[in-house]
Every structure is written in C-alpha cells, then in structure tokens.
Structure 1
Amino acid sequence: MPIENCIAHWYDNDIRFDLMTRYLKPCAGEKIFELIEPVEDTKGNNGEPGKLIVTNLRIIWQSQKYPKINLSIGYNPITSISIKSATSKLRGMTESLHILAKTKSSRYEFIFTNLVVDHNRLFPVVLGVHRAYIQSKPYREIKMRSAMIVSNKKLQMLQQEQICEQISGVWNLSSDQGNLGSFFITNVRVVWFAAANELFNASIPFLQIAEIKVRDSKFGKALVIETTEFGGNYILGFRIDPKEKLQSVYKSLLSIHDTYMAYPEFGVEFNPDTIDAEIEQERKDRLHKAITEEVEEIDENPELASDAFAAYFADGYTGESQNLPRRQIVYSEELGLAIEKPKDGFTLQQLWEVIPSY
C-alpha cells in the first residue's frame, strides 16, 4: 500500500532529515493547516529560503533551491516553542521561531525566520497547532486509570467523538479473578471501566490497536485487543457473556476499527483563519519571556550550517544525563592527527561539506 495511504506512526513521533518526496506527502488522516513561504531555516540553512508546511502531526520545511534538503519535525518530541532574536542572512537581526525537541537519545534546536516583513502568521499558527496537538492526546495515546468517566458512569467525550455502542457485563481479565465493568465503543477509541471503581479504567485509541481477535483463555472465550509497538505492545483480554454477545461486540469492533484506519481522526483541530486574541497574547508572553529570561544556547558553527546533523544535533546530550564520557580518541590518517572518533555513519568528508552530497 502506498505510504500516503497508510497511517504513519512516526510522522508525529520522530524528527527526520532529508526525506524522499513521498514521505513529505500527507499520510492518511494528516491535514495541512498552513503553507508559509518564504521561510528561512536559520539554524541549519541560514540564507536559504524555503517553504514551511504546518500539519496536524508535524512541521515540514523544504528548501526551494535544493528540495532534497528538508526537515520533518513531529510535534511529540517538541519540548518548547518560543520566540527569540536571531541573525538571518536574508533579514538581519529579527525575531524568529525557536523550537527545542528531544528524542530518546538526542536533543535538537530549530530556528525558522519568516522572510515576509510584517507577516507574523508563522508564530500563532505553529503555537496554536502544537497546543491543539497536546490537548488531543487521548485520540492517539493509551490512557490508564485516568479521570475519563464522570458522574453517573458517563464518558467524558472528546471533540469529534461519538459513542457507537455501550456494553455492560464486560470482564477485564488482567487479574486472576477478573474485574466486572463496561465498554464504551466510540468512533475513535474503546474505553473500559470497572463497575466497582470508575478510576480503574483503560482508554485504547483505534490508532494504537494492531489486532482484534477472539481466542481461548483460562476464563473461556475472550475478546483480545493487541496494541501496536507505539502503543506499548499490550495484550488486553475481556470476557463477554453469552457467546452471541461476544461475537456481536467482536464484529462491531472490527468494523469500526477498519473504518477508522481508512479515515483516521487524530483529534487536532485548528482553523488558521480564526487566530484569536488568546493565541496572540500567548505569542507576546512567550516573546517577553524569551527577552527577559536567559535561554540555554546551543552553539552554532556557520561552517557546518548546511549539514543536517551537525547543524541541529546538540552533541554530547543523550538520554537524561549530560555527564557522559567523551568519544574515543583515534588516529586519523587523512589529517595525521589524533581526533575524536566520528559518530557512526559519518565520515570526515561529510563533516566538512557545506552542501551535503546526494
């Protein structure tokens, strides 16, 4: 199946450089909210105009002159968005969008400058969409023991969510004796909660469901929901009596899951034409904070400004600790000197290139 017709779990969960064009196209359920150009990648390609695409899952920047030079920044790794002063080769000293992001082992910094004078949509659009992404996590993430059930055993509904079916008498088989509860099946997730304790619950988005099946267990026939690797590789078992009811719920879940996978809903809602005063005030507050507080800087080396990793990667930072040993010292026959061993996958020639080779 073509990549643009698949749900790509990494789109919002990863940071990738210099992707092939087909990976810049929207996946199923991905919506483009805004296209802004020209925008300079001031951190990695200072002086190079490009286009910046804001979707419901990520930010994409692509060079106008060299389309193979591009960025895909998922919203999930982003740790902060602010506005700071930056020196652009095309606009001089100006305020720019500053993004810090962290993956499992690395930290990155991105700076984008809108090259259209007196045009500030870049700031409120990115801020607004990222905020909408953070607020819509139940669409995409498995939640356990959260306050999703309100009084009178009603489900706290998400925007764009509709209840398809409510089923009582559902046993959760996570313990030896099982726990009796109920199902809410909606158009975006399956929610189970215990009858005796509503805080004992689970919300499982269809996005994270890898397989739904019926199989034997020590409790008899059970409905089994297996989640994806991104969803934690959980195997969740439920017993529903009688068997006819079990089969009915099983078929309903399969049908709704298939529909969801064909037309996924990620829950990120944003209308770029209605940027309100609240978002504008947030922009001003962030700008004031960036000016009045010290911001941790990541050294820039203009000689490496076009190298994808050297420009954005904060070397020496992995995981949660920065107290790490220096890399191994090796002898370089090319230079006739002792140097730190380059990171795996890199050569000295690549580190010295101004424009990467393809």
Structure 2
Amino acid sequence: MARQNQQRFEFIFTDLTERQPGLAAALQALVAAYEASRPYRELRLRGALLVDKELKLLPREVAYSRVDGVSNLSSQAGNLGALYITNVRMVWHSKMAASFNVSIPYLQIKTVRIADSKFGLALVVETSAASGGYVLGFRVDPKETLEYVHKEMSSLLQAYANCPLFGVEYDANASAEAHPSKPLEDESDILEPEGPKGDAWAAYYADGASAGGAAGEPVFSAELGLAIEAPKDGASIQQLWSIL
C-alpha cells in the first residue's frame, strides 16, 4: 500500500523464487529500518532527545562537541541552552526545559554562517525547503567559540556531503538466519499452502475479476455451506482463505 498526496495505491507482486529471506519479510525489515532512522534525515522539534541530561546518540552517531551557554534567538529575549555537534546532525535544547529542543540533520541544512542579529553576532542555520525552510539563530559566546563552532560545523557538513549517513541498515544474512528455510511443522499449513505460491491470489487479478470484471457462475460450496463464485482452476477454498 502506498500514498502520494491525496491518492492511494495498491501494488501486488508474486515472488516465484525460493529466496531466503522471503521477499515480504525482507521488505518489512527494510521499511522498519527506514521508519526507525528518520532522525537521520528529518528535522525534529520538541523530541525526546536526552537521557540523563545528555544527548541520546543514534546508532553510528558520534558526538564531537557540546557547547553550553548557547542561546536560541527564536524568542525576544533568547533562550539559554546547550548545543551538540555530531557527525550527522546538530542538536540544541533549552537549559530550563529539555523538551524545548530542535534536532537538525545535516541532510536538511542548506547553509551555516555567522551573521549580525539584534543580539550581536550569531550562528545562523538555514534549512532546506523540504524541512520547512527555517532560519534559526544561535548566540554563541565568546566570539572565538562562535568561530570554532562555525568552522567545525562547516567541516562536518562537507564531510557528510561526501559520505552521507542515512541511518538505514539492513543485514540480509541476519534476516536469513531469522527466517529458516524450513518452516516449523505447526506453521507449514499457513506458510506453505498447497500449489504454487501466490497462484491462487494472482489468478483473480489476471482476468480483472477483482477490478469489477464479470463474476463466475455461482456454485454451492459444501465446505462453507453457501453459494459462492466458482474458484479458479487449481485454487481451493483453503488456499484462498490462507492468503488472508
């Protein structure tokens, strides 16, 4: 199932090979890995970023610097907090309320520069249009620390651009070990129905019956005790039920 804007799509594929892990299991594992790795790629506001007042690092994330006394200039008076710089993102959180925070992955940073503000020189971070096109200002004192932070972030941005880390990790070998080639005996009826895998389901899409095509002649099913459309050649009630 997929969605694009207001449209929804459904795609059905039949895997005729005996690959391990199965196609469905591999895809589900990849989707789970993608969902779990969104902080590598998406700007987050007011997230659960800290554990025991320290930044909770993502897998393969390395923290290079923590700078205290950094003010977020989004309010009229500024909000004092701490700035973290890692190999995949920058994170700022308020000293008074840790839940007031922002996590900006390098993937979403358009520019980092030093510019004048009503609070004096500030570190200005502009994000991409895809992440909302935010322009965030941070006051870093003294000036030497501001220049160091700007230089470090610029270097890390360049390094990330040369070798990005998206956070999606999938080990096909590990998945194969987690899904042994021989199913357990009490699961065999569910995992391996009689007949070629997927044929019973695919047969109903091949002739367009599921898309509003003409239905077959009704027949009485002693197994269900009611009249049904006659199953396609080679398909049984048990096979169609097991697909669901």
Q: State TM-score, norm by structure 2.
A: 0.72
Deviations 1:177-216 (A, max 9, x none): 0000011100000000111111111110001001111111
Higher relative contact order (CA 8 A, sep 6+): 2
Structure 2 partner of 1:150: 51
2:21 aligned with 1:116, yes or no? no
Equivalent residue number for residue 270 of structure 1: 170
SS in 1 for 2:168: coil
> Using the alignment, how far apart are the partners of 1:229 and 1:120 within structure 2?
38
Please state if 1:257 is matched with 2:161: no
Partner of 1:223: 123
1:301 shift after superposition: 8.9
Partner of 1:140: 41
Moved over 2 A (4+): 117-121, 276-281, 299-303
Separation in 2, partners of 1:121, 1:222: 53
**Structure 1 pair 140–221 and aligned structure 2 pair: CA distance change class (3 A):** same
Listed as ranges, the matches of 1:90-101 within 5 Å are 100-101=1-2
Who wins on radius of gyration, i.e. which is larger? Answer: 2
2-side partners of 1:257 and 1:207: how far apart?
9
- Asked whether 1:159 is paired with 2:59, we answer yes
Distance 1:279 1:180 in 2: 54
Q: Where does structure 1 lack aligned partners over 5 or more consecutive residues?
A: 1-99, 289-298, 304-358
1:300 to partner: Cα distance: 6.5
Equivalent residue number for residue 30 of structure 2: 129
Aligned partner of 1:296 in structure 2 is none
**Whole-Å Cα distance in 2 between the matches of residues 112 and 120 of structure 1?**
16
Q: Distance in 1 between matches of 2:57 and 2:19?
A: 40
Q: 1:112 Cα shift?
A: 1.6
SS at match of 1:256: helix
CA-atom RMSD in angstroms: 2.5
Q: How many residues align?
A: 189
What SS is found at the alignment partner of 1:102?
strand
Is 1:159–1:267's contact at 8 Å kept on the other side of the alignment? Answer: yes
What is the rounded CA distance, in whole Å, between the counterparts of 1:189 and 1:198 in structure 2? 17
Distance 2:136 2:157 in 1: 16
TM-score (norm 1): 0.49
Select which of 133, 140, 145 maps to 1:240: 140
**CA distance 1:247–1:118, shift in 2 (3 Å):** closer
Does the alignment pair 1:105 with 2:6?
A: yes
Would you tell me which structure has more strand in proportion to its own residues? 1
> 1:118: how far off?
6.9
Q: Distance in 2 between matches of 1:235 and 1:112?
A: 44
Q: Residue 190 of structure 1 corresponds to which residue in structure 2?
A: 90
Paired position in structure 2 for 1:351: none
Q: Partner letter of residue 120 of structure 2?
A: G
> For 1:143 and 1:187, how far apart are their aligned partners in 2?
17
Name the % identity. 42
- Could you tell me which amino acid in structure 2 is paired with residue 116 of structure 1? T
Distance 2:19 2:72 in 1: 57
| Alignment deviations for residues 143-187 of structure 1 (CA, whole Å, 9 cap, x no partner) | 111111111x21111001000111111000010000000111000
Alignment equivalent of 2:81, drawn from 174, 181, 186: 181
Report the structure, 1 or 2, having the larger helix content.
2
Gaps of 5+ in 2: 192-203, 209-244
On the 8 A contact 2:20/2:179 being kept in 1, the answer is no
Cα 1:117–1:278 change in 2 (3 A) is: closer
Deviating more after overlay: 119-128 vs 271-280: 271-280
In 1, the alpha carbon distance for the partners of 2:122 and 2:154 equals 15
